[in-house]
Amino acid sequence: MSQIEQQLINGLALGAIYALIAIGYTMVYGVLRFINFAHSDVLMLGAFAAYFLAPLSERVFGPQSITGAICVVVASSALCAGIGMLIELLAYRPLRNRPKLAVLITAIGVSLLIEYTCQHKAVFKAETKPFPRLFPSQDFRFGGLAISSNDIVVLLVTVVLLGILWFVVQRTRIGTAMRAVSFNHQAAALMGININRVISFTFGLGSALAAVAGILYAMKAPGIEPLMGVQPGLRAFIAAVVGGIGNLPGAAIGGVLLGALETFAGGIPGISNYRDGIAFAILILILLFKPAGLLGRVQTEKV
Amino acid sequence: MQPNSPDQPPPLLELRDVRVSYGAIDAVNGVSLRVRAGEIVTLIGANGAGKTTLLRTISALLKPRGGEILYDGKSITGLPPHEIVRRGLCHVPEGRMVFANLTVEENLRMGAYLQTDRGVIERELEFVFATFPRLKERLPQLAGTLSGGEQQMLAIGRALMSRPRFLMLDEPSLGIAPLLVKSIFEKVVEINRQHGITILLVEQNANLALEVARYGYVLETGKVTLEDESPKLRANPEVRAAYLGG
């Protein structure tokens, strides 16, 4: 019993990170109808930003200070928001009225460009670097359960961020504009909405979440390296599709589901090596029965 | 073109030899027209004559290949769509394009996107409810669940939220129950008379359009082939044969 609960907690923490990343994919898909493959690299850049900012924060706030950790996370998110907006401005905006395939290929190109530039010896190098401890961590024991404070932080941060995101999207003017743009660019433009600004904001928001996810992921991973975003990025993309691409709660649910499935499958003795296979087989099954994803609606193609 | 005599005010909107093409196909082929402040002008013509293209060009959803668009005496050619809305020129597009995924209230508030004064937004809402009481009953409903007629009311109401000086309506009668069409046209006249909003009306239902408009232009394959005051157009045998059902 405690084994299952243990896996559930681990799975939730991993899934929460996937959820944060998946939201970025799904939001960009919502406003531009393409998959921003460079999103997983923004996640990696977020982790690296924190890696370089951590010593700075230690000098100012002392080692493993909570205030320092918050500053590092906020600064990394802001930096990545800027990077995300820059990627959109330089790589995607010039192709706005081109076939979607051109943008999709460009996104893959941007992703590879970032990954291999960062692997260069003058940048981050290809080797794995140990990620600094941003704040004190300890394990709590409840009966047979071992819960690390890191996992609690991951869950807490995710819940708070999802709450903020929900508020922004549902209750603010810019959030409503995002939903309007995702429905129809031209109709939104006729309301006086500056489409470019809304799209830019969407990239900024998604990239900031990705940066936080990158830092949380790095805390659980053995270290960070320029290709660290690829695996969680791919999973989060799949989570977004399973949840119903373009649908925000869907992305969150998809992320948590994928994290939980992966962890559970990994915890079954004898088949733990097949955990990805099992997790993805279940996802394929879900898509077979709900092709538009769990919360997605089937859209008829307009002719 | 309407005479620009000294006793007439200058036009609020003026198109000079506007040309628009989709790739190699010319959709609008040198159209010039004028709409004076406070009047209703209609643009009639068959399917594919270029009426919608023309409206979409004025609101900058399309780029003209040539010619000039003047609004309030200044060129607005080349401005982005949101800058045109900011100047008080608002476009209710063909097919309504209400945000189906937003509630009626959110749709209306999006119409006032450029308005940051909450007091003004609330007053505009009251004005829209006074014009279309049905919308008030439907506020929390998703716009996609409204009937065609209600969606048209919402599309017009949403445009009114931006406090336009100039309203362009594209086929407000399209796909709407005949009984509602009449009521929507009454509202259009009301908006024009009571609130002094200038209207450019594109309509396939030429009978109805010429009834409410002071002046009309007939568009054929991207060119203005006829223009006159509405009563004269209605009496014109060619117009009668082609657009008014004989």
Question: Tens digits of per-residue pLDDT, A32-67?
Answer: 999 999 999 999 999 999 999 999 999 999 999 999
The answer to the question of residue A69 being in a domain is yes
CB contacts of B91 in chain A (<8 Å) are 190
The answer to the question of residue A302 being in a domain is no
Which residue does chain A place closest to B115, by CA atoms? A192
Asked if the model's pLDDT at residue A164 lies above 70, the reply is yes
- Inspect the interface and report whether the beta carbons of B113 and A191 lie closer than 8 Å: yes
Q: Does B57 touch chain A (CB under 8 A)?
A: no
CB contacts of A180 in chain B (<8 Å) are 99, 102, 110
Question: How many contiguous H segments (helices) and E segments (strands) does chain B have?
Answer: 10, 10
Given a contact cutoff of 8 angstroms between Cβ atoms, the answer to whether B13 and B70 are in contact is yes
Q: How many CB atoms lie within 10 A of CB B12?
A: 21
Say which DSSP state B161 is in. T
Given a contact cutoff of 8 angstroms between Cβ atoms, the answer to whether B226 and B233 are in contact is yes
- The yes or no reply on domain B11-243 and CATH 1.10.600.10 is no
Dist CA A68 CA A66 (whole Å): 5
Count of residues in chain A: 303
The answer to the question of residue A111 being in a domain is yes
Written as six digits, the tokens of A175 are 């959030």
- Residue A302: per-residue pLDDT: 44
3-state class of B62 per DSSP? coil
Which residue does chain B place closest to A194, by CA atoms? B82
Given a contact cutoff of 8 angstroms between Cβ atoms, the answer to whether B121 and B161 are in contact is yes
**What's the farthest any 2 CA atoms get from each other in chain A?**
61
Nearest to A177 among B81, B93, B113 (CB): B113
Task: Specify the range with the lowest mean pLDDT, choosing from A156-160, A255-259, B8-12.
Answer: B8-12
Task: Supply the ipTM of this predicted assembly.
Answer: 0.94
pLDDT band at A276 (very low <50, low <70, confident <90, very high): confident
Q: Ramachandran region of residue B31, left (φ > 0), alpha (ψ -120 to 50) or beta?
A: beta
Q: Does A247 touch chain B (CB under 8 A)?
A: no
The answer to the question of residue A283 being in a domain is yes
- Number of domains comprising chain A: 1
pLDDT band at A278 (very low <50, low <70, confident <90, very high): confident
Given a contact cutoff of 8 angstroms between Cβ atoms, the answer to whether B213 and B38 are in contact is no
- Residue position matching structure tokens 């670097």: A129
3-state class of A215 per DSSP? helix
Say which DSSP state A129 is in. B
pLDDT tens-digit map of A103-162: 999 999 999 999 999 999 999 999 999 999 998 888 888 877 888 899 999 999 999 999
Dist CA A40 CA B57 (whole Å): 39
Asked if the model's pLDDT at residue A297 lies above 80, the reply is no
Residue type, A187: A
- Residue B229: phi, psi to the nearest 5? -65, 150
Q: How far is CA A121 from CA A6, A125, B96, B105, B152, in A?
A: 40, 4, 56, 55, 61
Mean pLDDT, all residues of chain A: 93
Dist CA A115 CA A41 (whole Å): 7
What's the gap in Å between the CA of B39 and the closest CA on chain A? 22
Task: Specify the range with the lowest mean pLDDT, choosing from A261-270, B147-156, B217-226.
Answer: A261-270
Asked if the model's pLDDT at residue A19 lies above 80, the reply is yes
The answer to the question of residue A263 being in a domain is yes
Nearest to A190 among B81, B101, B102 (CB): B81
- Residue position matching structure tokens 């998959």: A35
What's the gap in Å between the CA of B206 and the closest CA on chain A? 26
Dist CA A206 CA A194 (whole Å): 19
Q: The CATH number of the domain where A124 resides is what? A: 1.10.3470
Dist CA B16 CA A55 (whole Å): 64
pLDDT band at B246 (very low <50, low <70, confident <90, very high): low
Which residue does chain B place closest to A191, by CA atoms? B111
Query: For residues A82 and A278, which has the higher predicted lDDT (pLDDT)?
Result: A82
Q: Does B81 touch chain A (CB under 8 A)?
A: yes
- Residue B93: per-residue pLDDT: 97
Dist CA A63 CA B130 (whole Å): 63
- Inspect the interface and report whether the beta carbons of A192 and B114 lie closer than 8 Å: yes
pLDDT tens-digit map of B28-78: 999 999 999 999 999 999 988 999 999 999 999 999 999 999 999 999 999
Dist CA A25 CA A22 (whole Å): 5
The answer to the question of residue A44 being in a domain is yes
- Positive or negative, the Cα torsion across A91, A92, A98, A102? positive
Range of the domain at A193: 2-289
Dist CA A228 CA A21 (whole Å): 13
Which positions 172-201 of B are in contact with A (Cβ < 8 Å)? none
Asked if the model's pLDDT at residue A263 lies above 80, the reply is yes
- Residue B169: phi, psi to the nearest 5? -115, 125
Burial class (CB in 10 A: 0-12, 13-18, 19+), A185: buried
pLDDT tens-digit map of B171-182: 999 989 988 999
The answer to the question of residue A97 being in a domain is yes
Least Cα distance to A174 among B109, B217, B173 occurs for B109
